[in-house]
Structures are given as C-alpha cells and as structure tokens.
Amino acid sequence: MEVGSSMRLDELQPGGRALISEVRGKPLFISRVCALGFTPGTEVLMVRNHRRGPLIAYLRDTLVALGRPEAAGVRLLARQQRPVAEERG
C-alpha cells in the first residue's frame, strides 16, 4: 500500500464528503468502527472538525464522534467536491 496516497478522515474539512477506502487499527477498533457504519465504500459527511480535539462525522443516519487519533485510522478514497447524489431508487 502506498503511503500518503489516501486521505485520513481527520483531514476532511467540515461540510466535505468522501468515500471510505479502508480502516486500520486493532481488531477492537476495526470492529467498533465498522459496526457503526464506517465500511469501505461508504460516504461520510464531516460535520465538525476543528484543528484539535475530537471530530463528528455523519453517516448512515448517525452522528459519530471520533477522537482525533482514532479518526486517523479511517482512510478516505479521495476528496469529492460535489455532494454525491443518492442513486438508490
């Protein structure tokens, strides 16, 4: 895996959306984060992210607070400028 090719969740600006590419960390962390909905391919919306302190992301109808070090374990595919339209019908 090339280092630096992906963005970390804590780098996503408030209001930004992106797709999750992978989650890294210990099994407990991965299982917790995945069960809350952070699975590869899911779109997250950053709701609150200050330079320091924990952040809040929104996905699957849920607001999730993540500590800053924890958020770094969630990797994003790429920055997406436009909101992604829902494609379910």
Partner 1 sequence: MQAIEPGAELRVALAGQPNTGKSTLFNRLTGLNQHVGNWPGKTVEKKEGSFSVNGFRGQVIDLPGTYSLTANSLEEKIARDFLINQGADVVVVVVDASQLERSLYMAVEVLLLPVKVVVALNMVDVAEKMGLSLDSKALAASLRVPVVPMAAAKGRGMEELLETLIRVSAQAGPVQERGARLEQAFEEMVGSVREIIHGAVPRPYTESWMALKLVEQDGEAAEIMKARLDDQSWRALQDLLAGRQDALAAGSAARFEWIKEALSSAAQEKERQTGVFTRWGFDRAATHPLWGKLIAGAVLILSVLATYIACLPPMTLGLGLLIMPNILRNALSGELPGWLLAMVCDGILTGLGVATCVAAFIAGVFLVLGFLEDIGYLARLSFVFDRFMRRLGLHGKSFIPLTMGFVCNIMAVTGTRVIDGWRQRLITLLLAPLVPCKGLLVVISFVSVVFFGPDAALVLAALAVVMAGQLLLTSFLLRRGLVKGEDCGLVMELPPYHKPNFRTIWSYAVSRVRAFLRHGYWIIVIAAFFTWVGVYYPDGQIETSYLARFGRAVEPFGRLMGMDWRLLMTFLVAFSSKEATLGAMAVIYGAGNTSRTAIEGLYMDQGLMMNIQTQLGAFLTTAGISQASALAFLFAIFFSLPCLGTLAAIHAETGSYKWTLGALAYYLFTSVFMGAAAYQAGLLIFR
- In the region spanning residues 60 to 89, those forming contacts with partner 1, defined by CB under 8 A, are 60-67, 69-70, 86, 88-89
Q: Which of 82, 71, 1 is nearest to 38 (CA)?
A: 71
Q: Which residues pair with 76 in a beta bridge?
A: 7, 20
Instruction: State the burial class of residue 29 (Cβ atoms within 10 Å of its Cβ: 0-12, 13-18, 19+).
Output: middle
Is residue 3 at the binding interface for partner 1, with CB under 8 A as the rule?
no
- In the region spanning residues 19 to 38, those forming contacts with partner 1, defined by CB under 8 A, are 22-23, 25-37
Is residue 15 at the binding interface for partner 1, with CB under 8 A as the rule?
no
Rg over CA atoms, the chain: 12
Is residue 4 at the binding interface for partner 1, with CB under 8 A as the rule?
no
| Interface with partner 1 (CB under 8 A) | 22-23, 25-37, 39-42, 47-48, 50, 52-54, 56, 58, 60-67, 69-70, 86, 88-89
